[in-house]
């Protein structure tokens, strides 16, 4: 028996792979689970006891794809496609200082924690170029909350307007000049900034990791993508990109590369075990096979995909080929929440729009596994988080069994996926320490954060008003052009064909 310092007793624990939550005691040593014991077995008085009566304990949910910078921008848009959202990026994320970055990440993290998520993969907006202080302000937010995170700044050496073949030509001359003036930083400047960050990263690897995020392959030259690849290998960083998120991206790739996005990335040597693809809606079976043979993973974001009208990613063929799949919320500017219970539920539900029998749908246990172990694999942390098992970190979510969502408790797994919305979460423990205790966050002064966030949002709205006006002038041309281009990718059944009129 290992040296146990803490025993969590009195709870029902959702054991791996089963529907039923059973009475069990969790024995903790330092920051991890030492053993799962029959209820009431540990009687030693030298062990700290945590009474968890009337609680259901599940592994912390893991968000495989989000954007911390979305915290200050939730609800900012309504009927916008991915391309309209990208066009709005300048005013959504512009003119932010490091305190804004901290606050936005904190808001995103607070929502994740309150809704039972203990770790995330954050693709942070730091255009035109990531700064060391900016990265540390984001890392500080997760540190203050006690969360685990991979922080991967979104980088590129092409603007959105340059990335879509033919888009600049579609603008009238005055708007074209405006769009052409919106540029990214040179590739070597961005890669040098990432090298400096990687070389000096000092956060514990099991807590806050740095990652590479060449944000969208079309937004990156091949040389830039190769530079990202080399840095990821040299500093052993995970690498994530938005892959074939919209039909526009599939069609644009066929035009630009003469092949699909995944095959192009394969030619550049980007695929591999450290690679993960966010969204991966508009990929074909050849692309899935490439991901499977190279060991890449997918972050499935069903809520965001519906929200932005991107279509529905078909995960069954991906799972059938053994590709690890995690579940993500995406950022709050495109989702617009950080509710992993909702994301899990949608992952289960959207699997049912494809014409397959019920046994091929994603069910409750599978959805739960994707949102825990699957997402942990996307973060590169599959050997330490995502499971309640000996040797794994004590990242645990305690739900109130008297909450209406769980009364009566007919089937724990099915109610977590099909009923729960995060409101039954009472306590969250990460690495053996409570970060949410009886509904209160332990690491931050929430009323102060509220005041600061409101002030920051108001200031940024004024500061970005002119940028917003410019984006709104560009938007109609972008929308029209991209709808037309996207139709070229409709060889894949990812969107329903509408009746005329």
| Rounded least distance, CB 95 to Zn ion, Å | 21
Give the number of residues in contact with Zn ion, rule: CB under 5 A: 1
d(CA 298, CA 262) in angstroms, rounded, equals 12
| Rounded least distance, CB 213 to Zn ion, Å | 9
d(CA 65, CA 276) in angstroms, rounded, equals 10
| Rounded least distance, CB 429 to Zn ion, Å | 28
d(CA 298, CA 286) in angstroms, rounded, equals 15
CA-wise closest residue to 76 among 494, 457, 393:
457
C-beta closer to Zn ion: residue 68 or 432:
68
C-beta closer to Zn ion: residue 246 or 467:
246
C-beta closer to Zn ion: residue 52 or 86:
86
| Rounded least distance, CB 334 to Zn ion, Å | 6
| Rounded least distance, CB 378 to Zn ion, Å | 13
C-beta closer to Zn ion: residue 65 or 393:
65
| Rounded least distance, CB 335 to Zn ion, Å | 9
Neighbours of 301 (CB within 10 A): 33
CA-wise closest residue to 353 among 492, 500, 498, 493:
493
Residue whose tokens read 């991209």: 482
Residue nearest Zn ion, CB atom distance: 330
C-beta closer to Zn ion: residue 32 or 300:
300
Neighbours of 30 (CB within 10 A): 13
C-beta closer to Zn ion: residue 229 or 300:
300
| Rounded least distance, CB 67 to Zn ion, Å | 6
| Rounded least distance, CB 204 to Zn ion, Å | 26
CA-wise closest residue to 122 among 73, 202, 63:
63
C-beta closer to Zn ion: residue 241 or 467:
241
Structure tokens given for 243? 């892959």
d(CA 409, CA 421) in angstroms, rounded, equals 15
H-type alpha helices, 146-296: 160-163, 167-170, 173-180, 187-200, 222-234, 247-257, 261-267, 285-294
Which residues in 5-44 contact Zn ion (CB under 5 A)? Answer: none
C-beta closer to Zn ion: residue 111 or 330:
330
d(CA 485, CA 166) in angstroms, rounded, equals 10
**What is the DSSP track for 292-322?**
HHHT-EEEE-HHHHHHTT-----HHHHHHTT
Site string for Zn ion, 309-338 (x = CB under 5 A): ---------------------x--------
C-beta closer to Zn ion: residue 86 or 175:
86
Residue whose tokens read 């693809």: 277
d(CA 231, CA 228) in angstroms, rounded, equals 5
CA-wise closest residue to 127 among 202, 183, 200:
183
C-beta closer to Zn ion: residue 314 or 330:
330
Residue whose tokens read 């500093």: 235
| Rounded least distance, CB 278 to Zn ion, Å | 5
d(CA 106, CA 68) in angstroms, rounded, equals 8
| Rounded least distance, CB 245 to Zn ion, Å | 7
Listed in sequence order, the residues at least 6 apart from 267 whose beta carbon sits closer than 8 Å to its beta carbon are: 259
Residues 145, 113 contacting (CB under 8 angstroms)? yes
**What is the DSSP track for 57-93?**
EEEPEEEEEE-GGGGGSTT--SS--HHHHHHHHHHHH
Q: What three-state secondary structure class fits 237? A: coil
- The DSSP secondary-structure symbol of 372 reads I
Residues 431, 31 contacting (CB under 8 angstroms)? yes
C-beta closer to Zn ion: residue 304 or 373:
304
Which residues in 174-233 contact Zn ion (CB under 5 A)? Answer: none
C-beta closer to Zn ion: residue 330 or 400:
330
d(CA 305, CA 302) in angstroms, rounded, equals 5
Site string for Zn ion, 49-88 (x = CB under 5 A): ----------------------------------------
| Rounded least distance, CB 332 to Zn ion, Å | 11
| Rounded least distance, CB 63 to Zn ion, Å | 11
Which residues in 384-443 contact Zn ion (CB under 5 A)? Answer: none
| Rounded least distance, CB 196 to Zn ion, Å | 25
For Zn ion, the binding residues (CB under 5 A) are: 330
């Amino acid at each position: 028996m290992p040296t146990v310092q803490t025993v969590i007793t009195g709870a029902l624990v959702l054991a791996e792979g089963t529907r039923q939550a059973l009475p069990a005691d969790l024995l903790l040593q330092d920051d991890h689970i030492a053993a799962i014991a029959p209820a009431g077995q540990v009687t030693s008085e030298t062990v700290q006891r945590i009474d968890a009566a009337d609680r259901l304990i599940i592994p912390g949910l893991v968000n495989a794809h989000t954007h911390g910078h979305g915290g200050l921008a939730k609800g900012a848009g309504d009927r916008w496609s991915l391309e309209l959202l990208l066009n709005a990026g300048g005013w959504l994320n512009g003119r932010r200082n490091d305190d804004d970055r901290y606050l936005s990440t904190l808001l995103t993290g607070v929502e994740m924690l309150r809704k039972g998520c203990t770790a995330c993969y954050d693709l942070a907006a730091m255009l035109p170029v990531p700064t060391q202080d900016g990265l540390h302000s984001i890392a500080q937010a997760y540190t203050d909350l006690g969360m685990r995170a991979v922080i991967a700044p979104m980088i590129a050496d092409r603007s959105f307007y340059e990335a879509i073949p033919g888009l600049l030509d579609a603008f009238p001359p005055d708007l074209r000049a405006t769009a052409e003036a919106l540029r990214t930083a040179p590739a070597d400047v961005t890669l040098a900034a990432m090298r400096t960050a990687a070389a000096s990263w000092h956060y514990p690897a099991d807590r806050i990791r740095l990652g590479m995020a060449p944000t969208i392959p079309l937004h990156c030259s091949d040389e830039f993508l190769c530079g990202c690849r080399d840095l990821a290998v040299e500093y052993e960083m995970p690498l994530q990109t938005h892959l074939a998120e919209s039909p526009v991206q599939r069609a644009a790739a066929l035009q630009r590369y003469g092949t699909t996005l995944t095959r192009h990335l394969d030619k550049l040597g980007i695929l591999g075990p450290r690679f993960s693809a966010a969204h991966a809606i508009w990929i074909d079976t050849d692309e899935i096979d490439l991901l499977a043979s190279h060991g890449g993973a997918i972050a499935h974001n069903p809520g965001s995909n519906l929200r932005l009208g991107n279509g529905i990613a078909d995960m069954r063929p991906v799972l059938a080929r053994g590709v690890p799949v995690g579940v993500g919320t995406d950022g709050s500017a495109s989702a617009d929440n950080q509710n992993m219970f909702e994301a899990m539920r949608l992952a289960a539900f959207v699997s049912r729009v494809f014409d397959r029998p019920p046994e091929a749908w994603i069910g409750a246990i599978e959805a739960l596994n994707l949102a825990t172990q699957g997402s942990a694999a996307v973060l590169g942390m599959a050997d330490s988080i995502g499971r309640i098992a000996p040797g794994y970190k004590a990242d645990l979510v305690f739900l109130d069994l008297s909450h209406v969502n769980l009364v009566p408790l007919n089937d724990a797994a099915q109610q977590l996926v099909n009923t729960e919305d995060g409101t039954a979460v009472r306590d969250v423990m990460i690495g053996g320490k409570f970060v949410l205790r009886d509904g209160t966050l332990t690491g931050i002064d929430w009323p102060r954060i509220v005041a600061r966030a409101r002030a920051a949002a108001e200031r940024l709205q004024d500061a970005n008003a002119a940028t917003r006006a410019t984006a709104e002038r560009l938007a109609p041309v972008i929308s029209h052009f991209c709808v037309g281009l996207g139709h070229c990718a409709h060889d894949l059944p990812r969107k329903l064909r509408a009746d005329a009129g």
